[in-house]
Chain A
């Protein structure tokens, strides 16, 4: 089954990430991805730009509401995600503990819901 590792960063960490050359965690991330690929569990991943680059849209009573910034104002914001193919949640938690994001900020692990996705596409 597939799991999403969602990586949460503080504003300071986002600021550091802007410049590749000053990010002290780059080597750790690179090695982590390599270990995921070599272990045959990697499905996909991507990083997100800082939360202030986000725009939140919702329709309330037929009216558009557009808000600058992320959906919720919290100290730690979603910074990226990794999708892994693993046999169990226990294995997913092991990989989450090894993720550099776990010691920098936090990593949330959630199973993907492919059934919900499929129903959405096919009715």
Chain B
């Protein structure tokens, strides 16, 4: 049976933190991409949950997102001007907890605009935690060769990690 789901690369943030995680020279030999994250930023303002910006080929321009989110009591929706993966834990979340998220990008080598979907949850045992599903659109026709994930402020803290997978349809 053919291998259709392969881990391409994994990265874990070191003790100095990182302003972003970036995968470059992405092989163009798969059908779809999947990125799974375990993330926490060092932002102390606001709540325990933050969102992250996705950039493709070095640019976050021309990205939009439609989001459905909730906190266990209230659900709502929003339109965003950047492609997003929501949510991950901030510095206000319970110590040593990390949010979990994944981003699926079908047909990343096509010459059409690139759609993607993501879902993510923050993690905290003390205050409101948020979860969200996003439908993203990157209105660029270039094949995706690099992908970056940055917190909406501050840096990823040590032990944040991300794995990029390649998916083949046969």
Q: Do A and B bind each other?
A: no
B: which residues have CB within 8 A of A? none
